[in-house]
Amino acid sequence: MPVIITINDAGQAVIEIADADAELHAYRFRLVPPGLSLWALEVTRADSDKTYRVEELSPGRWTCNCPAETYRKRGADHCKHQAAARALRAWLTSFLEKPAHVEHRTAS
């Protein structure tokens, strides 16, 4: 799932998430204290102000409090908020990682 991150006119980070019909919806997002989880994010849909909490409970085990996730059938795909949060977390992790080795050269 491609993830598009932008900054809106108010200076807020916005992530675009596609619905089942491939229509993009803008969500404001913010990292929140994870509590007992490993990582947590709140996403708020810009056109309705519905807010959902997405958490990584343990490595690879995610949850979201949206209706699609709450009522999904066993074995069905997880909600779009989880997919976006996983992609965002992977990008943030790789962005913040320090390079394993940086070679510094000096002019001789």
Q: Supply the pLDDT for residue 39.
A: 92
Question: What ranges do the domains of the chain cover?
Answer: 4-96
Residue of 83, 77, 74 lying closest to 27 (CA atoms): 83
Mention every residue, 6+ apart, whose C-beta is less than 8 A from residue 39.
31, 55, 56, 89
Q: Supply the pLDDT for residue 57.
A: 93
Per residue in 24-73, pLDDT (tens digit) is: 889 999 889 889 999 999 999 999 989 999 999 999 899 999 998 888 87
**Pair of tokens at residue 74:** 């066993």
Q: Supply the pLDDT for residue 23.
A: 87
